Amino acid sequence: MLSEKSRPLIEATLPLVGARMGAITPNFYSRMFAAHPELLDGLFSRANQNNGEQQKALAGSIAGFASALVANPDVVPEQMLSRISHKHTSLGITEDQYDIVYKYLFEAIAEELADVITPEIAGAWSEVYWLMANAMIKIEKGLYALQANDKMWMPWTVVEKNPAGTDCMTFVLEPADGTPVTAGRPGQYVSVKVALPDGLLQCRQYSLSADVESTTRRVFTTKRDDGGEVSPVLHNNVKVGDVIELSNPYGDLTLDGEGAIVLATAGIGCTPSASALRALATAGEDREVLVLHAEKNLEAWALREQMTTDVDAIDSATLQLWLEEPTDGFHKGFMTLDGLDIPTDASLYVCGPLPFMKAIRNQAIDAGIPATRIHYEVFGPDLWLAGAAS
């Protein structure tokens, strides 16, 4: 709960702090990594630091949380914090690291706002930070407690490595030791840690694309990003028989228990919906399932065979496909919800490039789907949240 003393100060300074977050967050990361360079080795993404995406996501989360507290001072925005906490636990964030972040973040705030900061303003923003931090610490402790083990990283052996569409690869892994395995849920992801050519350890989250509930194998599908750091290593260097480290499964983009389901995806964003389809097919689901997917062409579709097979196995499922390169029998161009018969009780799950997700969400709202029934997954830092808060 935001105190009555702090609320007017946060409300008055939020526009200024939000406007200067673009300078505050790089200052913060620079200070923190200078003092704790070990945090870049196996925890923070160097690529997302270099391209500025992590700074934007942090700025968006802080401003978004503060805005929510100003609007509803007695309510913590748990849905927003849950999304961040799942990412944190997939990386092994610990409670003591919030103290480190606080120290260097507020040093950066003091420097970048030196012309306007007062002890009262600093105290109010400190209250916001610890309300956010303590809420996430509580969520993260609960997520860790749900796991079948108390480890952050476990060794898994690559037993298959199969091409899947243009520049995509599906990895199948089995446990390399006797650590108890947590069964995942459709839509969840694992963090994958690899050593880069320069020796730095880096992690990325990849959605589980099949057999999510298995405790004897993990399956994830990746698209090679030639400008990235982790996917090229996975595609070019990791071989069948190699052992790599995975986290337990996390992620809050999971299917609810009732009503029709609409899965709208583009490109490699199909991976979480593929796992959902596989689970629905295996369970003999009788809910109405509408699968919508967009690709450049048929050959690019990473999980085409798996998804079409599972759609065929579900009596109540239908598939519609949009292709940028025209092919007979499919929609031409970009996905649109116009003209589709979407059930009024449908829950929509969206995953793909950010502009795609925003467009589909807007169309879904126009079609009468309540915002509370629209769910999304962002691969990498959540820049949707950052944009909403700016």
Residue 320 has pLDDT above 60, yes or no: yes
Average pLDDT over residues 11-33: 92
Runs of H (alpha helix) within the chain: 7-35, 46-50, 53-71, 78-91, 95-112, 119-145, 230-236, 270-283, 304-313, 354-366, 383-389
Average pLDDT of the chain, as a whole number: 91
Range picked from 6-10, 154-158, 362-366 for highest mean pLDDT: 154-158
Segment 111-153, tens digit of pLDDT: 999 999 999 999 999 999 999 999 999 999 999 999 999 999 9
- DSSP string spanning 41-74? TTTS-HHHHHTSHHHHHHHHHHHHHHHHHHH-TT
Residue 304 has pLDDT above 90, yes or no: yes
Average pLDDT over residues 84-89: 94
> What is the residue whose two structure tokens read 């500025």?
52
When pLDDT is cut at 50, 70 and 90, the band that residue 386 belongs to is very low
When pLDDT is cut at 50, 70 and 90, the band that residue 379 belongs to is low
When pLDDT is cut at 50, 70 and 90, the band that residue 384 belongs to is very low
3.60.70.12, 3.30.70.3040, 3.40.50.2300, 3.40.50.80: CATH of 261-389: 3.40.50.80
Distance CA(240)–CA(253), nearest Å, equals 30
Strand partners, 323: 295, 332
Strand partners, 332: 323
Percent of the chain residues past pLDDT 70, beyond the cut: 97
Neighbours of 379 (CB within 10 A): 20
> What's the pLDDT score for residue 194?
96
Q: Residues, the chain, total?
A: 390
Active site residue 53: no
When pLDDT is cut at 50, 70 and 90, the band that residue 389 belongs to is very low
Residue 24 corresponds to which tokens in the numbers above? 């505050």
DSSP-derived letter for residue 267 is G
When pLDDT is cut at 50, 70 and 90, the band that residue 390 belongs to is very low
Residue 281 has pLDDT above 50, yes or no: yes
Segment 347-370, tens digit of pLDDT: 999 999 989 999 999 999 998 899
> What's the pLDDT score for residue 77?
80
Average pLDDT over residues 221-232: 93
Residue 79 has pLDDT above 80, yes or no: no
Average pLDDT over residues 179-195: 96
Distance CA(339)–CA(334), nearest Å, equals 14
Parts of the chain belonging to CATH 2.40.30.10: 154-246
When pLDDT is cut at 50, 70 and 90, the band that residue 62 belongs to is confident
Output b/e per residue, 292-316; b: 16+ Cβ within 10 A.
bbbbeeeebbbbbebbbebbeebee
The residue ranking higher by pLDDT, 170 or 252, is 170
Q: How many Å separate Cα 208 from the centre of its chain?
A: 12
> What's the pLDDT score for residue 377?
79
Report which residue type is found at 377: E
2.40.30.10, 2.170.190.11, 2.40.110.10, 3.10.180.10: CATH of 154-246: 2.40.30.10
Parts of the chain belonging to CATH 3.40.50.80: 261-389
Exposed (0-12), middle (13-18) or buried (19+): which is 76, by Cβ within 10 Å?
Answer: buried
Spelled out in words, what is the top-level CATH class assigned to the domain 7-145? mainly alpha
Segment 247-261, tens digit of pLDDT: 999 998 888 768 899
Contact 274, 186 (CB under 8 A): no
Exposed (0-12), middle (13-18) or buried (19+): which is 133, by Cβ within 10 Å?
Answer: middle
Average pLDDT over residues 201-223: 95
Distance CA(211)–CA(278), nearest Å, equals 7
Q: How far is CA 247 from CA 37, 84, 87, 190, 362, in A?
A: 22, 16, 11, 5, 34
Q: Which of 62-66, 288-292, 295-299 has the lowest mean pLDDT?
A: 62-66
Residue 293 has pLDDT above 50, yes or no: yes
Active site residue 111: no
> What's the pLDDT score for residue 226?
87
> What's the pLDDT score for residue 344?
80
Strand partners, 194: 202
Average pLDDT over residues 377-383: 59
Which of 112, 127, 140, 285 is flagged as catalytic? 140
